Structure 1
Amino acid sequence: MELPLILVTGKNGQVGTELQQLSEKFAQHFRFVFCDKEALDISNETEVLQLFQQYKPAFCINCAAYTAVDKAETNQQQAYAVNADAVSYLAKACSKYNAVLVSFSTDYVFDGTATQPYLPDSLTNPINYYGYTKYMGEKLALANCAKAIIIRTSWVYSSYGNNFVKTMIRLMKEKNEIGVVSDQYGSPTYAADLALAVMTIITTLSTQSLQSVPYGIYHYANQGIISWYQFALAIQQNMQLQCKVNAITTAQFPTAAKRPAYSGLNTEKITQVFGIRPPEWQNSLQACLQILKK
């Protein structure tokens, strides 16, 4: 019998790259097809359907996204096409070929007025356009595919691509001192941990006959809620860089898109349903920095 096929979009992003790294470990159980923008334009419904017809995947992991939060405010059409329309095309294709869709969303679907970590069913109220497009992507995925799993995550970083950790290291090496926002709180997420969580979910769905398959929305982030300033300080200390890190306020660092002041994610549901326990943020940061030090 042929192994079930996993179709991965956005293969060059942080999570897509980590999934490529993991694919060898899971090669005995799954076949993988990794697509970049050239192989598949997910905002083209015809292309999506053609690819599904060709491969007939059992699972689709959508790692493609428009992630430029500030640019999304002015580049709304493109952000919506990738984060919302494209997700509906993938969801419809998954529905047609009876595949499971796994797609990612963000802590930015929340307004940040909470005082304790948001639950998957907490009230959404995005305060920037990027958050709105991801919120619409969630809605469209769930409306068009009965077998959809949405994983909301936050502050994703890895040893690949552009992210806060790599930007901080670069700035700390270039400058004598930097200012980092200390009044926005959330949870960092190491993309390698997130990729493993996704493969754990897919393995569970394909091997265990669950009583009721728990499709819907989940939260995944590393454990612990910190400010960007605390995150930067941990990077500086771990890398033993001499740069002075100063705490600044959001008001001192204006951006085109508003950011939630608090966006901690409660991850209990993913632990209860799939037995996935996200590592502490400090341990995951250390693992990533070990790779970057090489």
Structure 2
Amino acid sequence: MRARLLLGGIALLSLPGALAEAQKTVYELAGTLTSNEPRPFRDGLPRLSLHSMNSPFASRATADMKGKFKFKKLPPGTYVVMVSVPRSRPLRKTVEVGPSFADSKGRVATTIPYERKRVPGRTYAVSTAQLAIPDSARLEFMKGQEYLAKRDVRRARAAFQNAVEMAPQFAGAWNSLGRIALQSAQYEEAANAFREALKQNPAYYGALVNLGGALLAHGKLEEALAVNQRAARARPEDPLAQTQLGHSYFFLGRLEEAEKCLKEAEKIEPEHFAFPQLLLAEIYIQRQDLSAAVRELEDFLRRHPDSTPAPEARKALEMARQQMAAQKPGS
């Protein structure tokens, strides 16, 4: 198992083979927001967005009063469901869409526990510059989102570019340009877009953590470390920030610090799309702690059996098991 392969997972890149397969089979994601409250959505229906971690794609939906929602015609891959409910903190869940979790009709079921609770100690403010974004730029941004839902990346990029030309202070549009570039393996362009988003809105956490990922994928290790440290300090509860910081430490040879971050990410959200188990397994293999590596690889494959890194993870798992067997007395 090679560290470079694992970095490909954290960079959220798509592979040509995966995209070719994605066009042959599609699935439906059917979800339910669950709550112990009698009327959990009395302040408004939940709004959801679905984001592909394999290619530039995002779609939107609204749940009904029972918390049920659907996304149709999805290629297999790793997705993140974002849930926004009025007067409540946003929710997020990583979902694997593919044959291992689908029923005979191609439906993948998921449940997301919902709790009416704000994030303590955090306030949200919008700058005057962001409020001054003209409607024409916002319309272009909405067009870009619609094109992403249709997987028309070229037109989406053009619409986001129009938005920032109309309103250079439009941090959200810069971030969207950066995400498209990152998922297209254009790392320098992605980093520049995320930097511009942060220039326009220094408090934009999404652009900050995305910049850390772009720098990491581009091999800018010292700069990535500084950015990922900032992100982890800003939101220590974010598994993406913790995993990217773990990767930064790993590639700088600071394995103990890497392990600490990755274990924290795993604790927060073990099924997270950044796959903290993979780099933990790499660390344990380097230490010759094969039993720990096997546990991490087994956990990863249980959660992400159809993911892009899964074939290499299976090979690494088999090799680790063979080495463990060879080390037993009498073998």
User: Structure 1 length normalisation: TM-score?
Assistant: 0.27
Higher Cα radius of gyration? 2
User: Structure 2 length normalisation: TM-score?
Assistant: 0.25
Highest relative contact order (Cα 8 Å, sep 6+), 1 or 2? 1
